[in-house]
Chain A
């Protein structure tokens, strides 16, 4: 298993992450579903402003791991520290981490009973206690940023899949998170809508957001990732820059995976 620290920047990325502080720190994280071990001593460090793409076959533990970062799943062994706060059974820590970590889901999970603008401004109003007018102004700015301000007063059910996923990104950004988690966000989209979502994610990466992305979009991984982690059977098999990962991977399992998808 490769050392999980920041590596040399790749061609398109001239970020110097060697001095950046650790945003996500995982130490020997393990999790079981009954007898099935979903995570097997996963250790990794993700630096501030770093974009990490997690690749791997289905059922390899990618989603379980990313969902442990904001404790939608509870890890059973090891430690997870997010922005210097350790995830334990302490409700206060969990709530603090969740308010600093944004997450976007495969199935969008927008609130169908609220208008788009209310979906985006709900958490700022109730968690950050912002004045409604200010929260709505911010929501409109975010909808502008994801390119759908004209849909603000519609309900999620009236939007296309790509539009819904963009609202979901705006909703996560409304909490002004330090970290964004993307869990297979383009897998439920029609092919022509994938690009509009990926473009927003690219722009977000360029703006310096710390991102952890589980995806099957190899093009996105090559272009945007600072590091790629390859996961299989609950373990991180290989870590490296996109150049290293796609051009001369060291592990046999990585080679096999790449030969199957490329």
Chain B
């Protein structure tokens, strides 16, 4: 016998245990089974143990009354646990949202200052960064708290600008502008303005592209919105007819059977999955119609199909979800009905000056002004300053990461300094800056949970009080985890979407 030819070796059947494709599939399925059964086992064990020790894990306590005073927010004396946690959640979101905005602004300033040509500005910026990022956040929070509580007490009729601005150991109180009864009608006018602004912007952009003249399209769009907003202040009652419209929509939701949202949700789930799979297939089809799918692609498609089936199952089995969706939609329409059916003379906005009231023995701020409590201020300044140091470093790194040749090439074709920054450096730097800055946003959100140290009623502080009063530790912890996880995932999804959109195209 001669040695096997190449042809024979190629056509030789691969034994299963050496076939990479078989190995890949078997390990994937095996891993899936292991993970699922481990989770099932742990869940059933935990359930058995909790039942054996008589620990309640139901969420009924949320509807029972609690005795909690919340430092500030939408409801300072909530009647149920659910309301207390809801109010605390709004507080956490408020401080995180404001913190992210201000930390970003300050971080950009700090980052640019560290790259400044001015020696003094550079030194101050690096002292800022080194100082704030090297002191523990909790220490900073307590420092701000003790510094702010050392301010003078509130006195009746006191304040640097009496009746307008008050600064004391109860916080800072200033005039508050708030939305009034006519706001929703006015918002419709502004919405129409926004649509108009879109067309104005496109029109101005076209003129700029055709003639080369600088037509500032964005400025024009903003001016359009402002104009509609201004006119809307006077003409907004013309939209009061939307009230009855929402009323009939509410009636429609009321008359729909419970199966309607079930069918709708199932259709959406299956529709989305089908469209996704079809797009996926056409994206992987070559020009001549040849389909090439890797094993991972198959896993992805199977996963999507299974996920959509799981959603359908969930919707059908859990009819409470559909009822809840129907009820909420009806309630929302009813709220909008009342919001639109207001007196024609109602103003969209109103403003009030801060007031000081005599509460028991000591004077305190009333509800008229916009008040930033000491707790809020301590947490806010601490997280903003702390995070700005890190964001500043990201900004600096991002700008330094753009090769020097890019700036030189841009200068060499005659772009001015501002144009070099706007058209060449920043679009490239932002790709480097954004991913780590997204992580800083996540950190900021999670760091606000330290607010418990200075008595700001955030999610963790109120949750602790709730489980101390009700003994429902596990459900509260579950709510915490779910809340922080969904916030973090929302930020992550946004940052990832941004990264994918901004990715440089290479071969």
Contacts and interface: CB of A to CB of B under 8 A. Distances in A.
Contacts of B278: none
A133 B428 CA distance: 25
Given A109-B406, A131-B210, A132-B209, A158 B413 contact: no
B428 A113 contact: yes
Given A109-B406, A172-B412, A133 B505 contact: no
A118 B238 CA distance: 47
B504 A127 contact: no
A126 B210 contact: no
A134 B212 contact: yes
B416 to A, nearest CB: 6
Nearest to B205: A132
Contacts of A102: 412-413
A98 B411 contact: yes
Contacts of B211: 131
Contacts of A168: 409
Interface of A: 70, 72, 95, 98-99, 101-103, 105, 107, 109-113, 122-123, 125-127, 129-135, 154-155, 157-158, 168, 171-172, 174-175
B413 A175 contact: yes
Interface residues of B, number: 29
17 contacts: A95-B416, A98-B411, A102-B413, A109-B403, A111-B410, A122-B413, A123-B414, A127-B415, A127-B419, A129-B212, A131-B211, A131-B212, A132-B208, A132-B209, A157-B504, A157-B505, A157-B506
Contacts of B504: 112-113, 155, 157
Contact of B423 (A122, A155, A172): A122
Interface in B403-430: 403, 405-406, 408-416, 419, 423-424, 427-428
A127 B423 CA distance: 12
Contacts of A99: 413-414
A115 B427 CA distance: 13
Nearest to B419: A126
Given A72-B408, A113-B431, A129-B214, 5 more contacts: A111-B410, A127-B413, A129-B213, A131-B209, A132-B210
B210 A133 contact: yes
Given A98-B414, A175-B413, A109 B212 contact: no
B317 interface: no
Nearest to B409: A109
Contacts of A103: 409, 412
Contact of B507 (A110, A125, A131, A157): A157
Nearest to A132: B209
A110 B414 contact: no
B423 to A, nearest CB: 6
Contact of A111 (B208, B210, B406): B406
Shortest Cβ-Cβ A-B pairs, 7 listed: A157-B506, A99-B414, A109-B409, A123-B413, A132-B209, A109-B405, A155-B505
A90 to B, nearest CB: 14
Contacts of A133: 209-210
Contact of A125 (B210, B212, B405, B506): B212
A210 to B, nearest CB: 16
Contacts of B431: 113
A95 B415 CA distance: 8
Nearest to B431: A113
A168 B406 CA distance: 12
A135 to B, nearest CB: 8
A98 B413 contact: yes
**Max chain A CB contacts within 10 Å: which of B209, B211, B414, B428?**
B414
Contacts of B208: 132
Nearest to A159: B507
A171 B413 contact: yes
A94 B214 CA distance: 23
Nearest to B430: A113
B401 to A, nearest CB: 12
Contacts of B506: 112, 155, 157-158
Contacts of B427: 113
A74 to B, nearest CB: 12
A87 B346 CA distance: 65
A134 B33 CA distance: 62
Contacts of B212: 125, 129-132, 134-135
A129 B413 CA distance: 13
A132 B217 CA distance: 15
Given A72-B412, A99-B414, A131-B210, A112 B428 contact: yes
A173 to B, nearest CB: 10
Contacts of B412: 70, 72, 98, 101-103, 105, 172
A82 to B, nearest CB: 13
Interface string B360-399: 0000000000000000000000000000000000000000
Given A122-B423, A131-B209, A132-B209, A110 B413 contact: no
A171 B414 CA distance: 11
Contacts of A127: 413-416, 419
A135 B208 CA distance: 12
B423 A110 contact: no
Contacts of B210: 131-133
Nearest to B417: A91
Nearest to A115: B505
Contacts of B505: 154-155, 157-158
